[in-house]
């Protein structure tokens, strides 16, 4: 697969110079062929009919765009059904995030909270982030509200940052929960050498999820909450999501 950055696709809002000549029956395959040639990071099978007749939807993780049926026009933006007042593009992103986060095994996260918690959220956290620390300082309150927090280590400033090295030390600690708590309080903790490639995996996962900062809270249905929410506000949000799902 080409190493051409996904960001090149995410930033593209353009008009192709020429249209793809094709019959209605051939449109999808012709569009797939052209888009995958223009953007090698886009797999052909991730281009499919959209909710709007005559347009196709391109979805690679949480990156969503639309291409006209003749393969000429590429549009990136949110598609909203005005009748139902539903953001169809955001719903597609939620589905992608749900699948990505569901792929995290229990031994790939650092969990605070009981196994039988009423709710579970996945939080991408950076050790040095002020609001990440604020959230963690209230971890007992989240747990008391019935919320289990599955932490994903995400040093947002990248591999050269001090928080990246500290995240690796946390992962290599025998007691990761205690190590994470100590790291967020700028306290020392015991650690050792180990395979800490999970930090790199988490960093790439965060980019796929579409993070713009930390903390980033992903609900079980894939909805992304960018930023800190107090325990009572998060609990209320989770109750609301649960009630809506039952309707």
Among 32, 126, 169, 172, the active-site one is 126
Residue pLDDT, tens place only, 34-80: 888 888 888 899 999 998 888 999 988 788 999 999 888 898 888 99
User: Would you give the distance in Å from CA 4 to the centre of its chain?
Assistant: 20
Q: Check if 72 is active-site.
A: no
* pTM reported for the whole predicted model: 0.78
Q: Is 129 a catalytic residue?
A: yes
Contact 104, 152 (CB under 8 A): yes
Asked whether residue 8 carries a pLDDT value surpassing 70, the answer given is no
Residue-wise DSSP of 41-92: TS-GGGEEE-SSTTEEEEEETTEEEEEETTS-BEE-S--EETTTTEEHHHHH
Q: Residue 5 — pLDDT band, cuts 50, 70, 90?
A: very low
Pairing of strands 63-68, 55-60: antiparallel
> Is the per-residue pLDDT at 21 higher than 90?
no
State the burial class of residue 35 (Cβ atoms within 10 Å of its Cβ: 0-12, 13-18, 19+).
Answer: buried
* d(C-alpha 107, C-alpha 97), whole Å: 19
pLDDT average, residue stretch 186-208: 96
Q: What residue ranges do the domains of the chain occupy?
A: 6-88, 102-246
Residue 111, beta-bridge partner list: 150
The verdict on whether 156 is a catalytic residue reads yes
Residue range 205-229: mean pLDDT, rounded = 94
pLDDT of residue 166: 97
Q: Which CATH number fits domain 102-246: 3.40.30.10, 3.90.550.10, 2.30.40.10, 3.40.50.300?
A: 3.40.30.10
Of 94, 132, 133, 163, the catalytic one is 132
Domain spanning 6-88, CATH class = alpha beta
Q: Which of 129, 169, 172, 176 is catalytic?
A: 129
Q: pLDDT of 94-113, one tens digit each?
A: 999 999 999 999 999 999 99
Phi/psi of residue 62, nearest 5 degrees:
-95, 5
Residue tagged active-site, from 133, 156, 169, 176? 156
Confidence grade of residue 220 (pLDDT, cut at 50, 70, 90): very high
What pLDDT score does 223 carry? 95
Which pLDDT does position 71 carry in this prediction?
Answer: 86
Mean pLDDT for 78-97 is 90
pLDDT over 60 (residue 83) = yes
Mean pLDDT in residue range 233-246 = 91
Span 116-122, mean pLDDT?
95
Q: pLDDT at position 25, please?
A: 55
pLDDT, residue 40, reads 84
Evaluate if residue 133 carries a pLDDT over 90.
Answer: yes
């Amino acid at each position: 697969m080409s190493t051409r950055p996904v960001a090149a696709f995410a930033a593209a809002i353009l008009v192709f110079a020429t249209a793809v000549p094709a019959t209605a029956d051939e449109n999808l395959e012709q569009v797939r062929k052209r888009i995958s040639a223009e953007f090698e990071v886009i797999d052909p099978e991730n281009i499919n009919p959209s909710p709007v007749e005559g347009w196709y939807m391109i979805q690679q993780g949480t990156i969503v765009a639309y291409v006209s049926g003749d393969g000429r026009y590429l549009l990136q933006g949110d598609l909203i059904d005005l009748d139902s007042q539903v953001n169809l593009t955001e719903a597609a992103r939620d589905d992608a995030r749900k699948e990505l986060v569901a792929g995290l095994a229990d031994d790939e996260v650092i969990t605070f909270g009981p196994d039988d918690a009423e709710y579970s959220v996945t939080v991408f956290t950076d050790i040095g982030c002020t609001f990440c620390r604020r959230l963690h300082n209230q971890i007992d309150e989240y747990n008391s509200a019935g919320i289990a927090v599955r932490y994903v280590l995400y040093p947002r400033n990248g591999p050269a940052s001090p928080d990246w090295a500290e995240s690796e030390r946390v992962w290599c600690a025998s007691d990761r929960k205690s190590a994470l708590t100590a790291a967020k309080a700028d306290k020392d903790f015991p650690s050792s050498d180990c395979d800490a490639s999970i930090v790199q995996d988490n960093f790439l996962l965060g980019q796929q999820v579409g993070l713009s900062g930390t903390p980033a809270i992903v609900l079980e249905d894939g909805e992304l909450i960018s930023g800190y929410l107090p325990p009572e506000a998060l609990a209320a949000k989770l109750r609301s999501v649960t009630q809506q799902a039952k309707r």
